[in-house]
Amino acid sequence: MEQQTPGDLDASRCYRAVSSRDRRFDGVFYTAVHTTGIYCRPSCPARTPAVANVTFHRTAAAAQATGCRACKRCAPDATPGSPQWDVVADVAGRAMRLIADGVVDRDGVEGLAARLGYTPRHLGRLLRAELGAGPLALARARRAQTARTLIEESHLQFGQVAFAAGFSSVRQFNDTVREVYAASPKELRTARSRSRGTPSPVPGRVQLRLPVRTPYAGDALLDFLAVRAIPGVEVVRDQTYARTLRLPRGPGTVELSFPQEEREGVPAHALASFALTDLRDLTAATERVRRLLDADCDPVAVADVLGREPLLAEAVRRVPGLRVPGHVDGYEAAVRAVLGQQVTITSAQGLTRRLVERLGEKVVTDVEGLDRLFPTPEAVAALAPGDLPMPASRARALALLSQAVATGATPLDRGADRRALRADLLALPGIGPWTCDYVAMRALGDPDCFLPSDSGTRAALRAMGEDPARATALAQQWRPWRSYAQMYLWQSLTRPTPPTDDHDEKDD
Residues recognised as catalytic: 40, 454
Residues 6+ positions from 13 with CB-CB distance below 8 Å: none
- Distance of alpha carbon 35 from alpha carbon 423, whole angstroms: 50
Three-class DSSP category at 190:
helix
* Residues 438/451, Cβ–Cβ less than 8 Å: yes
How far apart are the C-alpha atoms of 412 and 405, rounded to whole Å?
7
**498 with 381: CB under 8 angstroms?**
no
Q: Which residues of 440-472 are buried (b: 16+ CB within 10 A; e: fewer)?
A: bbbbbbbbbbbbbbbbbbbbbbeeeeeebeebe
| 202, amino acid identity | V
Please count the residues of the chain. Answer: 508
In 3-state terms, what secondary structure has residue 381? helix
Strand partners for 251: 246
**What is the rounded CA–CA span in Å between residue 161 and residue 156?**
6
Of 160, 407, 442, nearest in space to 281 by CA: 160
Distance CA(250)–CA(285), nearest Å, equals 11
CA atoms of 47 and 69, how far apart (whole Å): 17
- 420 Cβ neighbours under 8 A, 6+ residues apart: none
Neighbours of 20 (CB within 10 A): 13
Q: What region does 321 belong to: left with phi over 0, alpha with psi -120 to 50, or beta?
A: left
Question: What burial letters (b/e) apply to 360-378, b meaning 16+ CB within 10 Å?
Answer: beebebebeebbbbbbbbe
The arrangement of strands across the sheet holding 54-57 comes to 54-57, 30-33, 38-40, 69-70
* 297 neighbors 332 (Cβ within 8 angstroms): no
CA 167 to chain centre: 23
Q: How far apart are CA 204 and CA 278, in angstroms?
A: 11
**DSSP helix/strand/coil, 157:** coil
CA R_g for the chain: 23
What is the C-alpha to C-alpha distance for residues 436 and 422, in angstroms, rounded to an integer?
6
> Where does 196-311 have alpha helices with state H?
218-228, 282-293, 299-306
